[in-house]
Structure 1
Amino acid sequence: MSDPISVIVPARNEAQTIARVVRVLRDMAGIAEVVVIDNASTDATAAEALGAGAQVVTEKRPGMGHAVRTGIGAARHDWVMKVDADLDKFDTALFSRMVEARAPGVGLIKGAWNDPKDNMPMTRLLVRPALAGMFPGLGHLRAPNTGIYLFDKSRIAHGELVGDYAVDIDVMLRVHAAGTEVAEVDIGRIVHDARDVSHYNGMAEQIMGFFLSRQPLDLLGEVVVLAERPETVIRTALGHAARKLMSGARVTFALGEGASVDVLSEAVAPFPTARIVTLDELSGVAPAVHTARLTVIAEEGAALTAARSFAARHATALPVALWWMPGEGERLGDVSVDVAEGAQIKRAALERLNLRDEVTPREVFRVVSDVA
Structure 2
Amino acid sequence: MISVIIPALNEASTVAQVVQLALKTNNVSEVIVVDDKSMDETVVNARNAGATVITSTKLGKGASMLDGILIAQNECVVFLDADITSYQSNVIELLSLPILDDSADFTKSYFDRQAGRVTELVAKPLLALLKPNFPTFKQPLSGMIGGKKSFFVKCKFEDGYGVDIGLLIDMFQLGARITEVNIGKIENRMQQLEQLGKMSREVAKTIIQKSSGLKHHNLELFENIQVVREQMDFAIRDSLLTLKKMAIFDMDNTLLRGSFINQAATQFGFKESLVEIVTNNSNPFVRTKLIANLLKGKNLNELIQIVEQIDVTPNLPQIIEQLKENGYIVGIMSDSYDCITNHLKNKYGFDFSIANELEFSRSIATGEVRIPSFFINHTKSKCKHEICKLNSLDILCEKYQIDIKNTLYIGDGENDICCIRNAGIGVSFCSTNHLVDTVADFTIKDPDFAHLGPIIA
1:1-372 pair list within 5 angstroms: 4-59=1-56, 61-102=58-99, 103-104=101-102, 106-115=104-113, 118-158=114-154, 160-216=156-212
Contact 1:19–1:49 (CA under 8 A) maintained in structure 2 = yes
- How many residues in Structure 1 have an aligned counterpart in Structure 2? 214
- Paired AA for residue 204 in structure 1: S
In 2, Cα distance between equivalents of 1:53 and 1:217 = 46
User: What SS is found at the alignment partner of 1:37?
Assistant: strand
In 2, Cα distance between equivalents of 1:128 and 1:120 = 11
Contact 1:8–1:81 (CA under 8 A) maintained in structure 2 = yes
In 2, Cα distance between equivalents of 1:101 and 1:71 = 21
Flag the structure with higher strand content: 1
Change in 2 beyond 3 A, CA 1:35/1:158? farther
- Percent identity between the aligned chains? 27
Contact 1:8–1:80 (CA under 8 A) maintained in structure 2 = yes
In 2, Cα distance between equivalents of 1:137 and 1:105 = 22
TM-score (norm 1): 0.54
In 2, Cα distance between equivalents of 1:213 and 1:196 = 26
Instruction: Choose 1 or 2 for highest CA Rg.
Output: 2
- Paired AA for residue 110 in structure 1: K
**Residue by residue, what CA displacement relative to the aligned partner does 1:208-231 show, whole Å, maximum 9, x if unpaired?**
111222222559xxxxxxxxxxxx
In 1, Cα distance between equivalents of 2:116 and 2:80 = 18
User: What SS is found at the alignment partner of 1:57?
Assistant: strand
Unaligned runs of 5+ in 2: 216-457
Contact 2:69–2:152 (CA under 8 A) maintained in structure 1 = no
Q: More relative contact order in 1 or in 2 (CA 8 Å, sep 6+)?
A: 1
TM-score (norm 2): 0.44
What is the CA-CA distance between 1:5 and the residue it aligns to?
1.4
In 2, Cα distance between equivalents of 1:190 and 1:131 = 24
- Paired AA for residue 211 in structure 2: Q
- Paired AA for residue 111 in structure 1: S
User: What SS is found at the alignment partner of 1:92?
Assistant: coil
What is the CA-CA distance between 1:43 and the residue it aligns to?
1.6
The residue number in structure 2 matching 1:306 is none
User: What SS is found at the alignment partner of 1:6?
Assistant: strand
Change in 2 beyond 3 A, CA 1:106/1:159? closer
**Residue by residue, what CA displacement relative to the aligned partner does 1:85-108 show, whole Å, maximum 9, x if unpaired?**
023122232442222233546211
User: What SS is found at the alignment partner of 2:211?
Assistant: helix
**Residue by residue, what CA displacement relative to the aligned partner does 1:52-95 show, whole Å, maximum 9, x if unpaired?**
11111101532111111111111111221111002312223244
Flag the structure with higher helix content: 2
Unaligned runs of 5+ in 1: 220-372
